[in-house]
Amino acid sequence: MLNNTLLPTAYLAPIEYYAILLKYQNCSIEYYENFIKQSIRNRCNIYTANGKLTLTIPKLRKNKSKILIKDIEICYKENWQKIHWQSIESAYNSSPFFEFYKEEIRPLFIKKEKYLIEFNSKVHNVVLKFLYQELVIKKTNNYQKEASLDLRNYNWNKRKHQPYNQVFEEKHGFISNLSILDLLCNLGPQSTQYLESITI
């Protein structure tokens, strides 16, 4: 009987992604799927003064049409790290808890990782530290055809969650299931409790 949860790699993953990690103990990150465009694998959504903003990590273009996610290389032709950090700082500088986290987030946008999946993994480990979680997340050794819970193609925008205070909600209202960064900056140590309250 299958007893595993499969997730894609993710850049500053959506809030629900971490709710799933906390609920299900036997989670694996898929390393052997083909890269999927316009997905959480290299995109995240934050809440700015102008509303929702999508941050995208550019990848090196290869001649192959299909590339395994573990082989996707990050492109540094433009200084996306500086752009992303400035956007994050502008979005959350006035949030209650950004000050507590920024010194550990900032270095992620200085060092240049070669592979997307390695960068995502480093970001992920920092987030788990903020959430006070010592979870063992496995990575696949080959492509998994099936799982008891397969979330590789899950629509992370379809569900609405319980509102919490957001910096710009007076201008644009509550925006659900943004990057985990939004939750951390606004709720701080209460983020784990919020994640555990989400019905999966």
pLDDT of residue 43: 98
Tell which residue, 120, 95, 114, has the closest CA to residue 44.
120
pLDDT of residue 61: 82
Q: What is the mean pLDDT of residues 121-136?
A: 93
Q: What is the mean pLDDT of residues 117-125?
A: 96
Please report, rounded to a whole number, the percentage of residues in the chain having pLDDT higher than 90: 84
Q: What is the CA radius of gyration of the chain?
A: 16
Residue-wise pLDDT tens digits, 8-63: 999 999 999 999 999 987 899 999 999 999 999 999 999 999 999 999 999 998 77
Residue 148 gets which letter from DSSP?
S
pLDDT band, residue 136 (cuts 50/70/90): confident
pLDDT of residue 51: 96
In whole angstroms, what is the distance from residue 6 CA to residue 26 CA? 9
Q: How far apart are the first and last CA of the chain?
A: 21
pTM of the complete model = 0.94
The chain-wide mean pLDDT, for the chain, equals: 93
Residue-wise pLDDT tens digits, 174-183: 999 999 999 9
With a cut of 80, say whether residue 65 has pLDDT above it. Answer: no
**Least confident interval from 76-85, 157-166, 185-194:** 157-166
Asked if 129 contacts 104 with a C-beta cutoff of 8 angstroms, the reply is yes
In whole angstroms, what is the distance from residue 60 CA to residue 74 CA? 6
pLDDT of residue 66: 84
Q: Which H helix or E strand runs over 28? A: strand 27-29
pLDDT of residue 199: 86
DSSP string, 89-141: HHHHTTSSSHHHHHHHHGGGGTS--SBHHHHHHHHHHHHHHHTT-----EE-S
pLDDT band, residue 159 (cuts 50/70/90): confident
Residue 64 gets which letter from DSSP?
-
pLDDT of residue 192: 96
With a cut of 70, say whether residue 1 has pLDDT above it. Answer: no
With a cut of 60, say whether residue 83 has pLDDT above it. Answer: yes
